[in-house]
Copies of this chain bind each other. A is one copy, B any other.
Amino acid sequence: MMMMSSDMIPPGYRFRPTDQQLINHYLLRKAIGLPIPWSILEKDLYGERANPWDVFSDVNDSAWEIVKDVNRVIYVFTKLSKVNAEKTRIARRAGCGTWDGQTTRKNIYNESKELIGFMKMFSFKVTKEGGSEDRDDHWIMHEYSLAGVCLQYELKYKEYVICKITRTCKANYFFFFFFFNHLQT
């Protein structure tokens, strides 16, 4: 499988993978240690300095895909770590806040109806005083992890997950609605 560079993708094509494609073609290959068909950024999303706006401050605007006018979407690999060696809880603190997860997760199946992964949704919540409550962006993460039959492979890098990060700029959001309402009147 060859690696491609971004200027080889014909105009009009966008990265809109299915859950199944994310697991089979990207995350599973990454965890096994195989080359992946398309370069995907790797970022540390957790830790003391990992405010999402800081994590992505070096990412060029053109790397984000614009969805429904107000959202910016990017896919990244990240590594999960446990809170401490004994516990099974995953460390979700990041900078001045935490990635707050929904309790339910979605199962992802392959074409033979076998479980291959999970998807969980998180949103970034500022928890520390003096944190950036006045920021005008809102951050959502969809985290894809391996499960079921995928765990039967010899996984060299099983700490990896793949995350779809969605950044909504509230200012843009309001502008969008203002503009929309303006058109209607």
Contacts and interface: CB of A to CB of B under 8 A. Distances in A.
Interface of A: 2, 4, 8-18, 21-22, 24-26, 37-38
Contacts of A11: 17, 21, 24-26, 37-38
18 contacts: A2-B8, A4-B8, A4-B10, A10-B25, A10-B37, A10-B38, A11-B37, A12-B17, A12-B18, A12-B21, A12-B22, A12-B26, A13-B13, A13-B15, A13-B16, A13-B38, A14-B16, A16-B16
Contacts of A4: 8, 10
A9 B6 CA distance: 11
Contacts of A37: 10-11
A9 B13 contact: yes
Q: 8 closest pairs, A vs B, by CB?
A: A12-B17, A10-B38, A11-B25, A10-B37, A13-B13, A12-B21, A14-B16, A11-B21
